[in-house]
Structure 1
Amino acid sequence: MLLSLPFVTLALPAPASAHFQEIVPSADVLPDGGTVTLDLVFTHPVEGGPVMDMARPARVGVLAGGRQTDLTDALAARPVEGKGAWTLSHTLAEPGAAIFFVEPQPYWEPAEGKFIVHYAKVVVDGFASGEGWDARVGLPVEIQPLTRPTGLWTGNLFTGVVLKDGKPVPFAEIEIEFINDGTVTPPNDAFVTQVIKADANGTFSYAMPRAGWWGFAALVEADKEVTSPEGKPVPVELGGLIWVKATDMSTATSGK
């Protein structure tokens, strides 16, 4: 049976480019608690674009202290390059990890002939507690970190396990990109998106070679096809993303 989904029609990006749903906070650790701001943009991070038009998310929330809080009403439009993007702020008043997540609207990618739904999350550590960072949100596809995803140095090995419906996905493919500030020019397209595979237990590792925000996108195919705008059955790419920040020791030591 074919499913009917709402969709967003996008302008065609370069077919070789990987799409990344960003949910990036103003800090990965709030040592004194306080307010964190998160920006939600759908883009190609290493290449700095093109930015894709992001419809208002179906759901945005935070998991903290074992409780989920819906933050969808807190979203405010914040266009980037004239395309739909979003922002929100949330105050961390208690110690512990706050796991922010977004369920975007499905969108139609005509260049690839499929719908794409990427569930993304990021961990912000309130009061530098170091607690609660491995809790599962319960997204259809999700990366559960096995390395604490906050307070990481450049070069640290980040390890996670890819889950679909709560079960490990053997040999899942993971695409990796960093948010480029324009100071890195990849030698060619092969360097834009790093690609690795999980092992038989759905576990993967990657050493982040540069400071900044890194996105890990585990990609799987949905169990059911849906109907395209042309009325044809097409596959749905489900993504489980997690964003992780690496910090240079030299920068931290100098206090910059």
Structure 2
Amino acid sequence: MTDQNPIAHRLRLLSFATAALVPTSLMLSYPAEAHFLELIPSHEVLDAETGRSLTLDLTFTHPMERGPVMPMAAPAEVGVLTADGREDLSGSLKQVERDGEPAYSLDYEVTEPGDYLFFAEPAPYWEPAEGVMIVHYTKTVVDAFGAETGWDRMVGFPVEIEPLVRPYGLWAGNLFTGVVKRDGEPVPFATVEVEWRNDGSVEPPAAPFVTQVLKADANGVFSYAMPRAGWWGFAALLEGEEPMTNPDGEQVPVEQGALIWVRTRAM
């Protein structure tokens, strides 16, 4: 369609050209909106070479951009789920400092072969830029000594991703598939954000490359092919059913995140 106002048309073209001249570095310097609670074990597979000991790090950050780290209050719950049941690990948490902000770490030693599902429920985080309280229910699975049983156990979080692919022993390029669930039921067309935990070897060429965004299907199922070795975070983001009170005493919406971390290795 021909523009009926040539002056307005030229002004629009000028604005587009001006925007195109903005350096990529400036565009990437804007604060990221994709918050991820990292729950990263020192190993995703334990064997005779690695031994029985694990260290798990909990950091609230933007993984692909390597920060900034956001201040994190003590988690409401941290634990592990095994064939023997649920174990509270809150007493093992140690507060540490990462980039000048509080984060957490814990040490754990496995006692027998099996799959160990580590999980964390953080304290709600107030994000004034988005006007929401954020609660990201996070988990990761570690296989000990080749048992390979129990990796699809569910923690029982209000929102949670059920893996349909064993979440360890993954090569770069593998397809990860999961089901987004709320209260145990699939969530149709849920939005899922995906980020790679950047080790400094990749510089995103533009803002859309920082966070991959996809939607689950009508049955809550999503898939993503992980193109690089390292840790990948999958965050299904849902609006909470009840508001929360922010630090100013106001009732505000809640962003509930269902997160799972998996590691790929180069073949």
- Under a length normalisation based on structure 2, what TM-score does the superposition of the two structures give? 0.86
Aligned-partner Cα distance in 2 for 1:229–1:64: 36
Identify which range, 83-92 or 226-235, moves more after superposition. Answer: 226-235
Pairwise CA distance, 1:128 = 1.9
Which structure's relative contact order is higher, taking Cα pairs within 8 Å and 6+ residues apart?
Answer: 1
Pairwise CA distance, 1:227 = 2.5
User: Does structure 1 retain, via aligned residues, the 8 Å contact 2:32–2:62?
Assistant: no
2:39 alignment partner, one of 7, 14, 23? 23
Gaps of 5+ in 1: 1-12, 250-256
- Structure 2 equivalent of residue 99 of structure 1: 117
Q: In terms of Rg, which structure is larger?
A: 2
Aligned-partner Cα distance in 2 for 1:187–1:100: 34
Letter in 1 for 2:206: N
1:147 alignment partner, one of 165, 172, 193? 165
- Structure 1 equivalent of residue 244 of structure 2: 226
Aligned-partner Cα distance in 1 for 2:31–2:200: 21
In the TM superposition, 1:98-247 aligns within 5 A as 98-247=116-265
Pairwise CA distance, 1:131 = 1.0
Aligned-partner Cα distance in 2 for 1:34–1:213: 21
Aligned-partner Cα distance in 1 for 2:105–2:33: 24
2:95 alignment partner, one of 61, 77, 93? 77
Aligned-partner Cα distance in 2 for 1:66–1:133: 14
Deviations 1:12-71 (A, max 9, x none): x95543100000000110023501110000000000000001111111000011500000
Letter in 2 for 1:144: E
Aligned-partner Cα distance in 2 for 1:123–1:37: 13
1:88 equivalenced with 2:118 (yes/no): no
SS of the aligned residue for 1:85 comes to: strand
Pairwise CA distance, 1:239 = 0.4
Letter in 2 for 1:18: A
Q: How many residues align?
A: 237
Pairwise CA distance, 1:77 = 1.1
Deviations 1:171-190 (A, max 9, x none): 01000001101110000100
Deviations 1:65-97 (A, max 9, x none): 150000000001121011011000111121111
SS of the aligned residue for 1:190 comes to: helix
Aligned-partner Cα distance in 2 for 1:193–1:110: 21
SS of the aligned residue for 2:236 comes to: strand
Letter in 2 for 1:142: E
Deviations 1:219-255 (A, max 9, x none): 1011111223333321000001000000001xxxxxx
User: Does structure 1 retain, via aligned residues, the 8 Å contact 2:44–2:168?
Assistant: yes
CA RMSD of aligned residues (A): 1.2
Aligned-partner Cα distance in 2 for 1:62–1:143: 16
Aligned-partner Cα distance in 2 for 1:17–1:225: 20
Letter in 2 for 1:154: A
Letter in 1 for 2:167: P
More helix by share: 2
